[in-house]
Amino acid sequence: MDKYQRAARLLDRIERELNCLGLWQAHQPPAEALESEQPFAVDTLEFHQWLQFIMIPRMWALIDGQHPLPDSIAVSPMAAHSFRNDIEQHEQLVALIRDFDVLLSGTDPLQDDV
């Protein structure tokens, strides 16, 4: 299985986990909320919204088009930070995002935090 297939599998699992946690939204936020220039759109979106409406679609576009995947990615520290008050409930989601980081960048951005 190549990197694109593994990335697609992880994205599928991240989407399913967001849905299981009740975080997957049926309606997209307003367009201006998606145009934030802040990291993770922290000024306009909640982290799970950023995953669903910005990161995941961008990753699917790269995978579907067989475009180069980012080789330096560290989303899991933000996931751990965002869900820190209820980490047990979100542990699987953070782990999947961490696996995605490791797959693409080859390093574990949470290794010093855990």
Model confidence pTM above 0.75: yes
What is the mean pLDDT of the segment spanning 102-111? Answer: 94
Which residue from 41, 52, 47, 57 is spatially nearest to 19, judged by alpha carbons?
Answer: 52
DSSP 8-65: HHHHHHHHHHHHHTT---SSPPPHHHHT--SGGGTTTS-HHHHIIIIIHHHHHHHHHT
pLDDT exceeds 70 at position 112: no
Q: Which domains does the chain have, with CATH numbers?
A: 3-24+43-105 (1.20.1440.40)
pLDDT digits (tens, 9 = 90+) for 7-25: 999 999 999 999 999 999 9
pLDDT digits (tens, 9 = 90+) for 10-69: 999 999 999 999 999 999 999 999 999 999 999 999 999 999 999 999 999 999 999 999
CA angle (107, 110, 113) in 5-degree steps: 140
